[in-house]
Structure 1
Amino acid sequence: MPDDESPTLLRRQLGRFLRDQREIKGLIIATAAQEIQLSPAALQRLETGRPQKLRKQDVRALCELYEVDTDETEKAIDLAAQAAKNPDITALGGLFSNAFNMYVGMERSARSLITYHEQVPGLLQTADYAHALISAFYRDASPEEIGRRVAIRKTRQAMVTRKRSPLAMEVLLHESALHRVIGGPRVMATQLHELAELSKLPNVKLRLHPYSAGMTWGILHGPFVILDFGTDRNGKQVEPPIVYVEGRLSSDLYVERPDEVQRYHELADAVRAEALDEIGTRDLLRRVAREFQA
């Protein structure tokens, strides 16, 4: 896909939101386009984030057609304005509501991902492990709010365990995640046993990066996720791959340039070369879990 035809991050997010809303209403592109007097080709370009003039009236008309509530409609219009002004933006803070959660939207659309983590990634967390982490971060939240966030995280995990077209995950997990106690020994034992079981799924590859490997490339590079969106029936990329680097206390980072995405693939290759194999990984998970149970 030529660079001038590549969808940028904000356009992709807006297009994904509008596509989801259209599908919720059960409309095909041709029908939705006719209703707001837009060509089907123009609506398809809007939904796939391809460069074109973004008109607020088109976004508003689509949201009205899809019966999107007022708050989300205004967020969609604001996102269109930001995409028009800042097409190459890669660092984003908390700009979006749940419907516009940038990473969750991309994760839901991805066909596969490669992730390096130093804690159990969200898609593989038990409810108790997730509760401990979320409670520690949202320290002033009510128990109801914490419970809601845990439920959302657990709902996301269905994309890994579903029978039809599950998300393909390769998890490169640093050994420190096994020893950093989250929620207490009982929680850790259950979580590590669960990881060992999940690693048997045909769509999940889990390998531990041991302390003995030292620092890959001589740096503490931190967690990252490489998301791939697959190809269509003609072999064309549905969306370009992207790398997500969580901002934690600041803005999240999204890497889109092909040469930079390739650099993260090379980093993943280097970690993979130093990691335990899948059987050795399961053995170590179970051994540490038993230590927590002792």
Structure 2
Amino acid sequence: MAKHGSEETDTTLPRRQLGRLLRDARAATGMNLDEAAALVQWSRPTLSRLERGETQKVRVSDILAICEAYGLDEGTTALAKGLAAQVPAKSWWQTYSDLIPTWANLFVGLEARATSLTVFQPLIIHGLLQTADYARALDRLNFPDDTEHELERRIHVRRQRQNILICSREPATMAIILHENVLRTVVGNNRVMSAQCRHVADMSTRDNIDIRVVTYQAGLPLGAAVPPFTIMDFENSAQGNQVVEPAQVYCEGYAGSAYLEKRTDVVIFRRAFRKLQQASLDVRSSRDIIREIARRHESER
């Protein structure tokens, strides 16, 4: 039975992100909750609820006062202000505008804490599987005004993100479906694509990564075009004052990114993934076709 009230109608993502930002900022000052609460003239329970993302109503003026008390810089203060303004929102849409700075990519923060990623990508290689050359070719088009130094910083961020899959201790698991189109679309040149496809095939041999390909012959398994999406699952239990993250669906678009956390939305996307998976090649056959496409790119260099 569906629950009523704010749990099903209001997104909790902005207030959880705001709480985490303020908790980290307080920790950076070396203050405990009692000291910080006294500094901003709040009660300890009130500040604690805010940090745990449990405050239903947040005043921007209060957040700005906390940011000033913690000595936060202009960029971080702008992010906190933007999050506070979004707390009462019915849905969460991170637009690439001046509301929240473009460098404050909430997806990267969520992705880093996820224990399991379920992904459908019909357009490009997922960032966690991209080679440096593939990422560089994309970013030169996407950020034409960036200097070479700025481009390299973007690539470094991607490489850091990839550690969640390849770290030696408790790496995240990933189940990803790539449309055949992703492998055949040339990004950069055929040399770049050949290396990229080989890298994807190699990554698919890891125990924590399940990569499958849905081919052109599969048609439209859902009877409609499906956008790229990522389902992020997190630890099931909280430790200490850490907030339990509900599963999130992230849908990226050209003008912004949607974050969906209602159980009904998550269920819809899980069903979609299962249908796409049923229409895909199995893991071994997928690896074979990825390597075959790599050889084709190599021969067309």
TM-score bucket (shorter structure): 0.7 to 0.9
Pick closer, same or farther for the CA change 1:217–1:148 going to 2, 3 Å.
same
> How do 1:16-165 and structure 2 match up within 5 A?
16-25=20-29, 29=33, 32-33=36-37, 35-56=39-60, 58-64=62-68, 66-83=70-87, 86-94=88-96, 95-97=99-101, 100-118=104-122, 119-165=124-170
Q: Give the residue type in structure 1 aligned to 2:90.
A: D
Deviations 1:31-65 (A, max 9, x none): 54455444444334323322433144543454345
The answer on 1:260 being equivalent to 2:265 is: yes
Pick closer, same or farther for the CA change 1:30–1:122 going to 2, 3 Å.
farther
Shift of 1:30: 5.4
SS of residue matched to 1:202 = coil
From 214, 234, 244, give the equivalent of 1:238: 244
Question: What is the identity percentage for the equivalent residue pairs of Structure 1 and Structure 2?
Answer: 37
Query: What is the aligned residue count?
Result: 290
Shift of 1:99: 5.9
Q: Structure 2 CA distance, aligned partners of 1:71 and 1:219?
A: 41
Q: Give the residue type in structure 1 aligned to 2:100.
A: F
SS of residue matched to 1:243 = strand
Pick closer, same or farther for the CA change 1:52–1:171 going to 2, 3 Å.
same
Quick check: 95-104 or 120-129, which moved more?
A: 95-104
Q: Provide the aligned C-alpha RMSD in A.
A: 2.6
CA contact (8 A) 1:230 1:237 kept: no
Q: Structure 2 CA distance, aligned partners of 1:150 and 1:238?
A: 30
Shift of 1:140: 2.9
Deviations 1:69-120 (A, max 9, x none): 133223312421332xx42133331143366322222212222111100221
Q: Structure 1 CA distance, aligned partners of 2:211 and 2:243?
A: 26
CA contact (8 A) 2:78 2:101 kept: no
Shift of 1:195: 0.9
Quick check: 159-168 or 18-27, which moved more?
A: 18-27
SS of residue matched to 1:165 = coil
CA contact (8 A) 2:251 2:258 kept: yes
CA contact (8 A) 2:75 2:101 kept: no
Shift of 1:284: 1.4
Deviations 1:249-274 (A, max 9, x none): x2322222211221111100100111
The answer on 1:247 being equivalent to 2:248 is: no
Q: Give the residue type in structure 1 aligned to 2:132.
A: A
Shift of 1:139: 2.2
Q: Structure 1 CA distance, aligned partners of 2:153 and 2:180?
A: 30
Quick check: 59-68 or 195-204, which moved more?
A: 59-68
Q: Structure 1 CA distance, aligned partners of 2:84 and 2:167?
A: 33
Q: Structure 2 CA distance, aligned partners of 1:44 and 1:5?
A: 20
Deviations 1:172-209 (A, max 9, x none): 11111111011111111111111111112222111111
Shift of 1:2: 6.9
CA contact (8 A) 2:94 2:100 kept: no
Q: Which residue of structure 2 aligns with residue 4 of structure 1?
A: 6
Q: Give the residue type in structure 1 aligned to 2:247.
A: P
Q: Structure 1 CA distance, aligned partners of 2:194 and 2:69?
A: 50
CA contact (8 A) 1:16 1:47 kept: yes
Q: Give the residue type in structure 1 aligned to 2:245.
A: E
Shift of 1:27: 5.5
Q: Give the residue type in structure 2 aligned to 1:16.
A: R
CA contact (8 A) 1:5 1:50 kept: no
Quick check: 90-99 or 162-171, which moved more?
A: 90-99
Quick check: 54-63 or 206-215, which moved more?
A: 54-63
Shift of 1:129: 0.3
Q: Give the residue type in structure 2 aligned to 1:157.
A: Q
- TM-score, length-normalised on structure 2? 0.85
CA contact (8 A) 2:78 2:100 kept: no
CA contact (8 A) 1:36 1:61 kept: yes
- TM-score, length-normalised on structure 1? 0.87
